[in-house]
């Protein structure tokens, strides 16, 4: 038994570790572009972080949903 067994799905632990590592990397990498918005400019590292982590989270959620539906198919009696 590891100390992480009580903290929920290991999938979320992996997403949290990935989020921290990507956040650290993007905070140290300098980008030569900036994104204009209403009150000034966005830091491109923040924009890329949200784009990357949003797509990773969405993709992993879709994989978990497909795996769940594969493991628990909807029977014909439940459809009616």
Mean pLDDT of 3-11: 68
Mean pLDDT of 36-57: 81
CB 28 within 8 A of CB 49: no
Q: Give me the chain's average pLDDT, please.
A: 82
Whole-structure pTM value:
0.70
3-state secondary structure the chain: CCCCHHHCCHHHHHHHHHHHHHHHHHHHCCCCCCEEECCEEECHHHHHHHHHHHHHHHHHHHHHHHHHHHHCCCCHHHHC
Closest CA to 15 of 65, 66, 54, 71: 54
The domain limits of the chain are 7-71
The more confidently predicted of residues 75 and 54 is 54
Write the pLDDT tens digit of every residue in 11-38: 888 899 999 999 999 888 877 776 666 6
């Amino acid at each position: 038994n590891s100390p992480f067994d009580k903290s929920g799905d290991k999938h979320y632990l992996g997403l949290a570790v990935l989020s921290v590592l990507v956040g650290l990397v993007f905070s140290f990498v300098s980008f030569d572009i900036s994104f204009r918005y209403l009150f000034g400019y966005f830091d491109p590292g923040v924009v890329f972080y949200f784009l990357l982590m949003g797509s990773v989270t969405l993709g992993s959620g879709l994989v978990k949903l497909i795996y769940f539906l594969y493991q628990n198919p909807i029977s014909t009696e439940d459809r009616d």
